[in-house]
Amino acid sequence: MSDFLMPSLGADMEAGTLVEWRVAPGDRVEKGQVIAVVETAKGAIDVEVFESGVVEECYVEPDTKVPVGTPLARIGSGERVIVERPGPVPETAAETQPAAETAIPEPAAVPPPFPEPPPAPGPAPVSTSVPEGGRVMASPAARRRARELGLELGRRGGSGPGGAIVLRDLERAADGEPWPERRRGGGFDRDEMRQAIAATMSRAKREIPHYYLATTLDLHAAERWLAEYNRDRPPEARLLMAALFMKATARALSRYPDLNGHYDEQGFHPAERVDLGMAIHLRGGGLIAPALRDAAALALPALMTRLQDLVQRARSGGLRASELGSATATVTALGERGVDTVYGVIHPPQVAMIGFGSVRRRPLAVEEMLAIRPAVDLSLAADHRVCDGHLGALFLNEIDVQLQHPEAL
């Protein structure tokens, strides 16, 4: 028997809001099964259980904000199943921190993307019907206040995460103010996310002694191989240069484990495998960096599929807890924005951030001659507590070697 705890989904997370349970006391769960949804500054995350067993008791009610490490449920053999009992209503995030109020969507096998905003808003009171087969997106505190005011919650959107109706919307409606438009942005509070990013990056620059290296890579061999590989394949089966960048980086990290792992109060702990994070820009602003698990062992087609899936789910709110907070190093690529060189900030507790710029055709010296070749600027931000520039340079050279032989990736 063991307690299922509120997970840490990144160095910038101190607490999370339990949005919903996907299980109930008495349910049998298997290792890796999603059993809850947790809201953080970066959106709603599916949380898996890391052992098989039976849910014996749920300690925390939905819409409750609790610190990382707080027991949420007990997973055991099933001999002590306790049905959830009604008790004192816990102090919720919706009541203590209005900006973090969270909607409780209907359970689904895969969380759907956040819905588009409804038609133009109108004044209170609101008395439209619930969408057929659907459910009003509203926090418990908002529902209680709506009953007190005699208001019906229907198709209108709110100002909470994912367009949920929250307590402040009801208070404004009671005062006769226009109903706010549903917020766009993929289900997260943009200001809250920016604050979380700022806090993490400030900590990183304050605590981690960064050093930076950069070099230019000739991509002639990689480009030719990629064109040949994609020639007779349908669009959905083709590879992008990003897949080669990720695979080459993962292999280089396997060879130089001093750049692949986590640094904490006890020092550096090299990772057993490469869980390569990929910085993804979210619509509406903000970043999230889920991990491609065991990236060095993935074949290129599988890595490409996983990469596309991560980007889609990161922007629609369907990431899993195991994909966050587990990255052993992270890649950031701003080539699509036309940036030649990017110097990243290390995301603690990691010790390395690898940056790829834009692939451009440039004049390069090739065997005593000048040639116009596709090239990319590659950069490394590394932790001086773990290694120095000599090892960092060898690591960048290893990525270059890997990309010169793309057929071996």
- For all residues of the chain together, what is the average pLDDT? 80
Residue 321: per-residue pLDDT: 85
Q: What is the pTM of this model?
A: 0.69
Nearest-angstrom CA–CA distance, 314 and 46: 11
Contacts of 148 (CB under 8 A, 6+ apart): none
Q: Encode pLDDT of 210-220 as tens digits.
A: 999 999 999 99
CATH topology of domain 208-408: Chloramphenicol Acetyltransferase (3.30.559)
Band of residue 81 on the pLDDT scale cut at 50, 70, 90: low
240, 304 in Cβ contact below 8 A?
A: yes
pLDDT at 84 over 50: no
- Give the model's pLDDT for residue 164: 62
Q: Which of 6, 5, 3, 51 is nearest to 29 (CA)?
A: 51
Alpha helices per DSSP H over 323-385: none
Q: Classify domain 2-98 at the CATH class level.
A: mainly beta
- Which stretch of 6-10, 82-86, 134-138, 328-332 has the lowest confidence by average pLDDT? 82-86
Mean pLDDT (whole number) for 74-92: 58
Across residues 43-51, what is the average pLDDT?
A: 83
User: Looking at the DSSP assignment, which residues form a beta bridge with residue 277?
Assistant: 291, 330
In the three-class reduction of DSSP (H, G, I as helix; E, B as strand; rest coil), residue 50 is classed as coil
pLDDT digits (tens, 9 = 90+) for 152-207: 665 456 655 455 676 667 777 776 666 554 443 344 566 777 787 888 889 899 99
Task: DSSP for 71-99, please give it.
Answer: EEEEEE-STT-------SPPPPHHHH-GG
Residue 88 near residue 291 (C-beta atoms within 8 A): no
Could you tell me which of 352, 357, 356, 355 has the C-alpha nearest to residue 391?
A: 352
Which pLDDT score, from 0 to 100, does residue 187 have? Answer: 47
Domain definitions of the chain by residue range: 2-98, 115-184, 208-408
Cα–Cα distance measured from residue 90 to residue 100, given in angstroms and rounded to the nearest whole number: 16
pLDDT in tens, 215-266: 999 999 999 999 999 999 999 999 999 999 999 999 999 999 999 999 999 9
Q: Compute the distance between CA of residue 321 and CA of residue 290 in angstroms, rounded to an integer.
A: 9
Q: Which of 90-104, 201-215, 261-275, 387-401 has the lowest mean pLDDT?
A: 90-104
Looking at mean pLDDT, say which of 62-76, 112-126, 265-279, 332-346 comes out highest: 265-279
Q: Which residue has the tokens 């006391």?
A: 25
Q: By the 8 A CB rule, do 60 and 18 touch?
A: yes
pLDDT at 5: 86
- Taking the CB of residue 25, how many other CB atoms lie within 10 A of it? 19
DSSP code string of 200-253: HHHHHHHHS-EEEEEEEEE-HHHHHHHHHHHTTS-GGG---HHHHHHHHHHHHH
Q: Counting runs of H as helices and runs of E as strands, what totals does the chain give?
A: 8, 19
The residue whose two tokens read 């000739």 is 218
What pLDDT was estimated at residue 156? 59
Least confident of 68-72, 103-107, 121-125, 285-289: 121-125
- Residue with structure tokens 């339990």? 18
Mean of pLDDT values over 62-69: 87
Please check whether residue 164 is in contact with residue 138, taking contact to mean a CB–CB distance below 8 angstroms: yes
Question: Mean pLDDT, to the nearest integer, of 289-301?
Answer: 95
The secondary element (H helix, E strand) that includes residue 301 is: helix 300-316
Angle ∠(160,142,86) on CA atoms, nearest 5: 120
